[in-house]
Amino acid sequence: MPPKPNEKMRELRERAAAMMNRPAVEPAPESQREAAPDQPSVAAADTPAAKLNAHFGIAALDQVAQGRAVQRLPLAAISPEQRPEARQARLLPPPEDLLIQGLPNPAYADLVASLLDLGRSIQDRQIQPIMVYPDESAVAPAARYHILVGHRRWTAARLIGMAEIDAVVVDPPSAADRVRIQYAENEERVDFSDMERVWALQQMKQALGDAPWDAVEERFQMSRGRRQELLRLATFTADQQVQVARLRLRETQLRPLHAAARAGELQPAHVDTVLAQLGRLIAPADEAAAETRPQLDGPTIARVVARAKRTASSTPPAPTPRWVLSLQEQLGRVDAQVARTRPRFHELRGGASAQLRAHLEATARRLHEALKQLPQDETTQADPDQL
């Protein structure tokens, strides 16, 4: 987690934007909120002053929110999108995972502390509304809206027990627009990590129907070189990616580690050990150290990786199971046979062509399912630079 002063800087920017672009909106008295918790209230909805005008200070957000009224919505009526393909590309677990029996989860201690501070600030005066759109949630049946912008503020409000929050209701976005808008908001965060950028890239590619990478680069205004650098972090397993996101390390800092993993010099267990050691190096010894602890630098990470490589080279690799060797041999024979017979496929007619097509399609589906089940950290995985 970044030092707390960074959060204060973002809060000051938000406060300045709010003072310039938003009229003061007095929240409804507590008695009124409790009397009608399910009904949204519009702050002076009939007056032009209640309409938003460049409120967020981010072009992509202002364009969507232009002319919309700020409403007071119950938190229970709002939910983050939980579907894997639509979940926001950032490290922000659900509130129930952040607290254990009412106490901060040690794995997210810094995050919980900053969220509690943010929640108390929102309770005192909410600087910016969140942005939501009408939708149903299978995870939260009571929810009538999904969060487009403001997931962190919603989580903070939940953690401190708020009942309502200021929100702007917008039209449901397309999948690609949702990813683009959330990426634009996250790019304004000082703690937006390279790992989270990778998740956003992958989401946009999926939202565009597995479009070529140049289409994704255009949506994010990102160069091909930058995209390739970021995708090298996809070398790590899903659990390792979460740890990388927690450490908030840049791709350049982790280059020795992911390069060793891609080259097969470090196995997944060795990568886990390195990430755990980096986590111990960056963790504060006490609360006072949390304010001044230095970020890990490249040379330090390179030394940790070098030690891990020396350890890995002295440890004999586990033998390959016999069934794997047998399967590889059979796949090799099938691959060679298909390569030999492909030039004659055009000779097939009628039923023979249909039967072969059906067999090939069924085999392709099974192979695709098998690929998805394989651990993503295998040294034989595809090089992200070739994607």
Same domain flag for 173 and 38 = yes
Listed in sequence order, the residues at least 6 apart from 9 whose beta carbon sits closer than 8 Å to its beta carbon are 190
The structure tokens listed for 350 are 């009628």
Answering whether pTM is above 0.75, one says no
Position 370 in a domain: no
Same domain flag for 212 and 109 = no
Taking the chain (387 residues) in runs of 10, the rounded mean pLDDT of each run is 47 45 38 40 41 58 78 93 83 88 86 93 90 87 92 94 93 93 87 93 94 95 96 94 92 95 92 93 56 66 93 74 84 80 80 86 87 65 45
Same domain flag for 28 and 153 = yes
Same domain flag for 118 and 24 = yes
The answer to whether 295 touches 282, Cβ cutoff 8 Å, is yes
Same domain flag for 169 and 250 = no
Listed in sequence order, the residues at least 6 apart from 37 whose beta carbon sits closer than 8 Å to its beta carbon are 74, 76, 163, 164
Position 25 in a domain: yes
- Looking at residue 210, which CATH number applies to its domain? 1.10.10
Same domain flag for 163 and 241 = no
Quote the pLDDT of residue 295.
61
Quote the pLDDT of residue 297.
83
DSSP assignment of 195-243 equals HHHHHHHHHHHHHTTS--HHHHHHHHT--HHHHHHHHGGGGS-HHHHHH
Helix (H, G, I), strand (E, B) or coil at 51: strand
Q: What is the DSSP letter of 346?
A: G
Quote the pLDDT of residue 292.
42
Quote the pLDDT of residue 24.
37
Question: Which residue range forms the structural domain that includes residue 228?
Answer: 193-313
Quote the pLDDT of residue 251.
95
The structure tokens listed for 356 are 């072969």
Position 331 in a domain: no
Q: Cα–Cα distance between 198 and 15 in angstroms, integer? A: 30
Same domain flag for 171 and 269 = no
Same domain flag for 200 and 173 = no
Position 339 in a domain: no
Same domain flag for 15 and 136 = yes
Amino acid symbol at 57: G
Total domains in the chain come to: 2
Position 375 in a domain: no
Position 289 in a domain: yes
Position 87 in a domain: yes
Same domain flag for 20 and 156 = yes
Same domain flag for 254 and 215 = yes
Q: Cα–Cα distance between 307 and 296 in angstroms, integer? A: 16
